[in-house]
Structure 1
Amino acid sequence: MFARLPIVKKLPFLPSLAASAAFAVSVSQAAVIFTPQEGPARTSFDGEISPNLITAGQPSLASMSASHPGQFPGTFPTTGLNDGSAAANGNLSYWATMNNGDPANWMPVTITFELTGSATGYDLTEIQSIAGWNDSYLGDQSFQLLLSIGGGGYSDFGTYTNTSTLNGGTNATLISLTDTTGAIASGVTGIQFVFMNPGSTQGGDGGTVIHELQAFGTPTVVPEPGVLGLGGWAAGLLGLARRRRG
């Protein structure tokens, strides 16, 4: 197993958005650090799984939906996206299929998580996507990341692809997204992944066997109105002192 060098992606500036009537958050110009890794077995990244904002049973998970069920729902159900395990179909992984069976089930597949554990949303510090399988390069992955800020519409935060030729497709890939400022975005209330065909290296039916989707962060802290007022009062005094010295 080896790690690739991280790639920094500058994202376009997104204007301030009202998170609710009670508070507002803003998204500065993000510089997402994209770190792809690959491992020689489908279980290479099992040890990365840990409690996070979208692990099943966590209070921050309001809902999870996919644009279609797994190609074989009994083996690859949607619950495998956030069941806290990356141990493949024995622990409910999810297969987003490229061209197998009913065309209605083909990629792209959109997976959405709504986060309501914090009234102010979350400072999102890291996102991880883990995929892997026994063969056919089904551990390859490519997804577009979209985030909802303060309950608003979903905004594009980039597209990320990780493919591997290790062991003839018996491998796993991990995509980690962080940010140079410490948080990819603040006031995050929803996370959306759009998984697409990751490329032509796949064999067989194609697709991506997703072991786990993870998001890490902390509740967004919004300054109390009194603190904001105090800051304005202090700034006013400073301006007055400067005028008097002039």
Structure 2
Amino acid sequence: MDWSALHVSLTLAVLTTLALLPLGLALARWLAVTAWAGRPVVEALLLLPLLLPPTVIGFYFLVAFGQGSALGAWLADSGIRLVFTLEGLLLVSVLVNLPFMVQPIQRAFAAVPHSLREAAWVSGLSTWQTFWRIELPLAWPGLLAGMALTVAHTLGEFGVVLMVGGNIEGETRTLSVSLYDKVQGMDLQSAHVMALALVGISLLALSLVLAFDRVGQRGRALQER
């Protein structure tokens, strides 16, 4: 096992999840309740990272933030480097994982009956109080599912990680990149260990998502009685 790569992967997964929590929560709640006509456009843009090849996202990240661009040159002059750094990996990871965080939370908020919100408002609760006391407690299974999916997908990212972060040991070499190195070097025993670790993490995340979904369904069933 490449423990250094595992540490980088876990660090990236935790930071990505923490960065996406407030952003994903706000965006998911807005998409669930808004009647704005442009919502389908926002949802399409949100889902775009699921359809685009990771190499395309990585390429345009390099175009935007490399020193050949005006933005990249300005960042370099300011002492900020995003290419081949953990900070750059975090930024692109947030972009790629946004739909994995938002979609489960959006579905959870959309399942909250509007009548509950109206009852809370009639009782004197503000929109903010209704969110914290009524909506969020009912939507927490979706929130946990989004976190589980984000962690699992971040740990398994390869193409965009290799393009944006490179393969710097202890800095940007993640477990999936290290696995690729082991296969290239014909170290199949080490590759098996890392591959099984990634499979186990994916199965655990999927199990958690399904469990949270069942909890959410039971909660909605109790509300309807």
Say whether the fold is shared (TM-score over 0.5).
Answer: no
- Give the TM-score normalised by structure 2: 0.26
Q: Which has the higher contact order (CA 8 A, sep 6+)?
A: 2
Structure with greater helix percent? 2
- Give the TM-score normalised by structure 1: 0.25
